[in-house]
Amino acid sequence: MKYALLIYDDPKAWADADEASRGAMMQEYGEFWDDLDKKGMIRGGQQLAPHTSATVVSAHNGTTLTTDGPYAETKEQLGGFFVIECDSLDQALEAASRIPSLRIGGQVEVRPIVEM
């Protein structure tokens, strides 16, 4: 089964961290990727540009609208994701529990991917 690990962080926490801390965390993300790859679980993943660069597309009464910025006004913003394949939800949750930004208050949503 494939799962998306959606990583939500507070951009302020990242911005407030010193350069050494950010570098160490990025190295941990690389190690996390390598570990999933060695286990044959990794299927993809990317860091996203800051939420302030987002454009939201919506439709109302047949008219398409675009709005700058994130859709939701929340402290945590979607900052990146991994796509993994594993045998069970428990394995996906274990992988999610090792995502480095959890240490600075991030959250990871684990969602099964529907195969089309």
Decide yes or no: CATH 3.30.70.1060 for domain 2-112: yes
Residue pair 102/9 in contact (Cβ under 8 Å)? The answer is no
For residues 88 and 93, give the distance between their C-alpha atoms in angstroms, rounded to a whole number: 9
Instruction: Summarize pLDDT for 4-60 with one digit per residue, the tens.
Output: 999 999 888 888 889 999 999 999 999 999 999 999 999 999 999 888 888 888 898
User: Is pLDDT above 90 for 105?
Assistant: no
Residue pair 32/7 in contact (Cβ under 8 Å)? The answer is no
pLDDT value of position 10: 87
Q: CA of 36: how far to CAs of 19, 41, 45, 51, 65, in Å?
A: 26, 5, 11, 26, 39
Kindly state the average pLDDT of the residues 87-99. Answer: 97
Q: Is 12 exposed, middle or buried (0-12, 13-18, 19+ CB in 10 A)?
A: exposed
Residue-range domain boundaries for the chain: 2-112
Q: Which amino acid is at 41?
A: M
Q: Which amino acid is at 26?
A: M
pLDDT class for 99, splitting at 50, 70, 90? very high
For residues 8 and 103, give the distance between their C-alpha atoms in angstroms, rounded to a whole number: 12
pLDDT value of position 72: 60
pLDDT value of position 47: 93
Instruction: Summarize pLDDT for 51-83 with one digit per residue, the tens.
Output: 888 888 889 899 998 988 766 666 778 999 999
